[in-house]
C-alpha cells in the first residue's frame, strides 16, 4: 500500500517492490506448501543484481549500504519469508567472507554470488542448539589443508546450498570455514527434525563432514576467532530477519484490511465496526514504530555503532510486532483467516518461527542485558 514509506532511495525500493510483486508473491504459497528451496528465484535475483547487494563492485556485486540491503529484505519478506531467508543465507556467507576472509577466498567466491551461488550457514549441532561455544565438529590442520569431521544440524537453506560456512572446534579454539558442497566427504540428509511449520524453504538438513579437506585459505578469520566472526555476522543477519518479519507484518496488515473493507456483516462492512478499526489503529502504529527502529539499526550497523544493541532491539521488536499483527489479521478476518488456502496462516507460522530462528527472543534480551551491564553507573547511590 502507498502509505508504507520508503526509507531508502524511492526508485530502488520501487524496484524491490516490483521484483516481489512480479516474481515472489505469486509463488509464495506454493513454496510454503511444497517446502522447497526456491532455486529459480535465487537465480533470478542474481540475474537482477539482487543476490550480491552487499558485495563490493570489484567482486562483481552492487556495493550497497546495509540500509539498502535492509530495504530489499523488507520488501521480499512482504512477498515470501521463505524466499527471504534463502537470500539471507547467501548474505550471511558473503558478509563473513567479505569481512573476515582472505583476499584469495574473496576472489574465489564473492563473484560467484552475482552469478547465482547459493549458500548456507552451519552453526548448530543437535546436542548443543543455541550454545555455539560448545561444538563436537572438528578441524585439524594437515600441511596446507584443513581436515573437517562431524555433523551440523538444522541447516537452513542447506538443501539448495553450493557453499557452506561452518563453525567448528580446532585445537586452538573455534574456527569458521568455507566448504563447497562438491568437496569429497560432504553430504546432507533430511532427518526427522528437518521440517518446520514456518519459514519453509526446503528441509533444514543435517550436514555430514567425513574427512573433508579444504585449502588453508578456506579458514575465515584466524584460528580461535570463530565465535567473534559468527557473532559479528549474526548482528547483520538478525537485522535482516527483523526486516523480513516487519515485511510480512505489512503483508498481513494489507491483506486483512483489504478483506474487511469488502466483507459485509450485519448490513455493514466489517471495517466500519469501531472495534475492528481499533485493531488496525494498533497494528499500523506498531508497524510504523518498528520500521523506525529497524532503519535506525541499519544505520548503526553501517556506522559500526553499538551494533549488538541495535540489531537485537530491531529483531526483538519487529518479531514481536509481526506476531501480534499476524494474529490480529487472523482475528479480524474471522473464519477466512483460519482457512488453509488463505495467506494468514502462513503469515502467522512464519512470524512465530522468526521469534526462534537467528536468535531467539530470550537470546536477544540477554544480549541487550549484557550491553546494559557494561554501562558505567552515572551516579552511584548514596
Question: DSSP letters of 201-240?
Answer: SS--EEEEEEEEEEEGGGEES-TT-HHHHHHHHHHHHHHH
Q: How far apart are CA 119 and CA 78, in angstroms?
A: 22
pLDDT at 105: 97
Radius of gyration of the chain (CA): 21
pLDDT at 129: 67
CATH topology identical between 120-224 and 227-373: no
CATH architecture, domain 120-224: Beta Barrel (2.40)
Q: For each successive 10 residues of the chain (382 residues), what is the average pLDDT?
A: 86 97 98 97 97 97 97 98 97 96 97 97 82 87 96 94 96 96 96 90 95 97 93 94 98 97 94 97 98 98 96 98 98 95 96 92 95 85 72
pLDDT at 116: 96
- Which H helix or E strand runs over 170? strand 163-170
C-alpha cell at 214: 579444504
Domain ranges within the chain, ordered by starting residue: 10-118, 120-224, 227-373
pLDDT at 2: 64
pLDDT at 89: 97
CATH architecture, domain 10-118: Orthogonal Bundle (1.10)
Identify whether the C-beta of residue 239 lies closer than 8 Å to the C-beta of residue 309: no
Q: How far apart are CA 285 and CA 272, in angstroms?
A: 19
**How far apart, in Å, are the Cα atoms of 160 and each of 116, 254, 268, 326, 366?**
11, 31, 49, 29, 32
Where does 227-373 sit in CATH, by number? 1.20.140.10
pLDDT at 379: 77
pLDDT at 351: 97
Amino acid at each position: 500500500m502507498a502509505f508504507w514509506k520508503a526509507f531508502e532511495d524511492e526508485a530502488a525500493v520501487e524496484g524491490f517492490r516490483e521484483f516481489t510483486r512480479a516474481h515472489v508473491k505469486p509463488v509464495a504459497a506454493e513454496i510454503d506448501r511444497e517446502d522447497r528451496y526456491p532455486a529459480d528465484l535465487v537465480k533470478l535475483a542474481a540475474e537482477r543484481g539482487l543476490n550480491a547487494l552487499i558485495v563490493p563492485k570489484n567482486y562483481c556485486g552492487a556495493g550497497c549500504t546495509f540500509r539498502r540491503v535492509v530495504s530489499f529484505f523488507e520488501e521480499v519478506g512482504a512477498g515470501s519469508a521463505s524466499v527471504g531467508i534463502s537470500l539471507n543465507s547467501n548474505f550471511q556467507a558473503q558478509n563473513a567472507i567479505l569481512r573476515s576472509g582472505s583476499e584469495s577466498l574473496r576472489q574465489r567466491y564473492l563473484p560467484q554470488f552475482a552469478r547465482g551461488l547459493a549458500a548456507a550457514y552451519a552453526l548448530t549441532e543437535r546436542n548443543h542448539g543455541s550454545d555455539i561455544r560448545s561444538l563436537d565438529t572438528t578441524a585439524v590442520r594437515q600441511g596446507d589443508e584443513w581436515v573437517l569431521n562431524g555433523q551440523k544440524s538444522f541447516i537452513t537453506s542447506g538443501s539448495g546450498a553450493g557453499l557452506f560456512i561452518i563453525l567448528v572446534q580446532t585445537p586452538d579454539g573455534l574456527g569458521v570455514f568455507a566448504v563447497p558442497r562438491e568437496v569429497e566427504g560432504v553430504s546432507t540428509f533430511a532427518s526427522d527434525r528437518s521440517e518446520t511449520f514456518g519459514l519453509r524453504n526446503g528441509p533444514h538438513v543435517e550436514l555430514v563432514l567425513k574427512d573433508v579437506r579444504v585449502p588453508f585459505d578456506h579458514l575465515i578469520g584466524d584460528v580461535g576467532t570463530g565465535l567473534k566472526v559468527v557473532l559479528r555476522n549474526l548482528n547483520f543477519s538478525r537485522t535482516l530477519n527483523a526486516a523480513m518479519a516487519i515485511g510480512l507484518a505489512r503483508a498481513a496488515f494489507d491483506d486483512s484490511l483489504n478483506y474487511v473493507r469488502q466483507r459485509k456483516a450485519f448490513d455493514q462492512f466489517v471495517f466500519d465496526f469501531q472495534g475492528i478499526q481499533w485493531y488496525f489503529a494498533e497494528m499500523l502504529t506498531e508497524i510504523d514504530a518498528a520500521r523506525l527502529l529497524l532503519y535506525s539499526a541499519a544505520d548503526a550497523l553501517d556506522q559500526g555503532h553499538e551494533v549488538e544493541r541495535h540489531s537485537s532491539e530491531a529483531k526483538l521488536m519487529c518479531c514481536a510486532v509481526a506476531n501480534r499483527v499476524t494474529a490480529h489479521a487472523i482475528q479480524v478476518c474471522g473464519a477466512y483467516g483460519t482457512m488453509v488456502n488463505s495467506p494468514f496462516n502462513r503469515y502467522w507460522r512464519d512470524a512465530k518461527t522468526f521469534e526462534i530462528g537467528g536468535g531467539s527472543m530470550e537470546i536477544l534480551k540477554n544480549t541487550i542485558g549484557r550491553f546494559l551491564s557494561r554501562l558505567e553507573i552515572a551516579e552511584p547511590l548514596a
